[in-house]
């Protein structure tokens, strides 16, 4: 299969890693499918895990149907595959369409089973948490951030089952790194947009933004291709213990000064506010410092009609 994404592969040529075999969970999902594609394009032998195997075939990729909430098949799969790395993207992301108890149980149990098994096997892990761990999304009413831009040290105060499940996953990640000496990188993406689905593309700058629900992340976003690039950057870096990084574009996509958006949503600004123009409310400075990663795609690049994976 030839993917339209190959045209952009030179944007991240600097992220060279030694992983020859990798497990990607959530392999048919909105993020996992792109990670599978990216790593497979690099020659990595990928084993994609999801509830169901996709139709079709993909060079350098095979797939297993595994319910990650079940410990035995999860641990057995990791043991049998014996990967160099695991990228854990599986999870239910929408608390509006799924009962909260199911969201929490699914995300927490799958994170526990995958991360603990990886730690016991001595396998490096990169996994996707969320900006929702800050309580930025799905909350009733918005609290003023303690400071802006928000960084990895800001207090996390999730207001929904999804954000809470991600907070629990981060605590599991820290525990595994501490107990087993494993290398675990937690990525907290902003709202993820993808060029292969209009449902996940932002509004145009010419749209009426007065009715747009900017939410508690104030128009922060990241292109799914940049999430993949940060995954690769983490795989290419020797991480000791547990590391957490935000993954966000440099600017908001709403076409207004970010401080103005904060004022609209929260009614006031925090005393400690250091934002310039459309600078994103979520900082990506640590990702650059630790992983030499900076976003390569702006939301305008989503005007490209890049195709999704052929095998889904």
Give the pLDDT score at 2. Answer: 32
**109: in domain:** yes
**308: in domain:** no
pLDDT band at 3 (very low <50, low <70, confident <90, very high): very low
Question: How many residues would you count in the chain?
Answer: 312
**311: in domain:** no
The CATH number of whichever domain residue 184 belongs to comes to 3.40.50.720
**204: in domain:** yes
Number of folded domains in the chain?
1
Give the pLDDT score at 201. Answer: 56
Residue 33 and residue 308 in contact, taking contact as beta carbons nearer than 8 Å: yes
- Full residue range of the structural domain in which residue 231 is found: 20-298
Q: What percent of the chain has a predicted confidence (pLDDT) above 90?
A: 71
**304: in domain:** no
Give the pLDDT score at 5. Answer: 39
**5: in domain:** no
Query: Which pair of structure tokens corresponds to residue 311?
Result: 């095998």
Give the angle 232-235-237 at the CA atoms, nearest 5°.
110
**309: in domain:** no
Give the pLDDT score at 307. Answer: 55
Alpha carbon 38 to its chain's center? 14
Average model confidence (pLDDT) across the chain = 87
Q: What percent of the chain has a predicted confidence (pLDDT) above 70?
A: 83
Over residues 276-293, the pLDDT tens digits come to 999 999 999 999 999 999
At CB < 8 A and 24+ separation, what contacts does 289-295 make? 290/237, 290/243, 290/245, 291/230, 291/233, 291/234, 291/236, 291/237, 291/245, 292/14, 292/233, 293/15, 293/229, 293/230, 293/233, 294/250, 295/222, 295/223, 295/226, 295/248, 295/249, 295/250
Estimate the crossing angle of helix 161-180 against helix 100-121, to 10 degrees.
10
């Amino acid at each position: 299969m030839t993917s339209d994404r190959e045209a952009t592969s030179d944007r991240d040529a600097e992220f060279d890693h030694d992983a020859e075999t990798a497990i990607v969970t959530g392999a048919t999902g909105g993020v996992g499918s792109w990670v599978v594609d990216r790593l497979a394009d690099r020659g990595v032998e990928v084993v994609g895990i999801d509830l169901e195997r996709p139709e079709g075939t993909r060079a350098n990729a095979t797939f297993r149907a595994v319910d990650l909430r079940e410990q035995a098949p999860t641990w057995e799969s990791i043991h049998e595959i014996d990967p160099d790395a695991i990228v854990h993207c599986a999870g239910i992301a929408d608390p509006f369409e799924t009962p909260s108890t199911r969201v929490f149980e699914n995300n927490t149990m799958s994170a526990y089973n995958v991360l603990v098994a990886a730690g016991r096997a001595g396998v490096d892990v990169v996994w996707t948490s969320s900006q929702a761990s800050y309580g930025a999304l799905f909350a009733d009413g918005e609290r003023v951030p303690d400071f802006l831009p928000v960084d990895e040290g800001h207090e996390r105060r999730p207001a929904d089952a999804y954000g809470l499940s991600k907070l629990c996953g981060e605590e599991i990640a820290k525990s595994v790194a501490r107990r087993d000496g494993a290398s675990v990188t937690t990525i907290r993406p902003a709202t993820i947009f993808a060029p292969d689905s209009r449902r996940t593309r932002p509004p145009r700058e010419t749209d009426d933004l007065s009715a747009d629900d900017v939410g508690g992340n104030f128009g922060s976003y990241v292109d799914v291709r940049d999430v993949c690039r940060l995954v690769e950057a983490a795989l290419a870096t020797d991480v000791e213990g547990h590391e957490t990084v935000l993954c966000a574009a440099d600017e908001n996509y709403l076409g207004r000064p970010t401080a103005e958006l904060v004022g609209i949503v929260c009614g006031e600004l925090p005393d400690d506010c250091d934002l310039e123009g459309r600078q994103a409310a979520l900082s990506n400075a640590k990702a650059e410092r630790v992983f030499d990663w900076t976003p390569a795609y702006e939301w305008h690049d989503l005007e490209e009609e890049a195709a999704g994976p052929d095998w889904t």
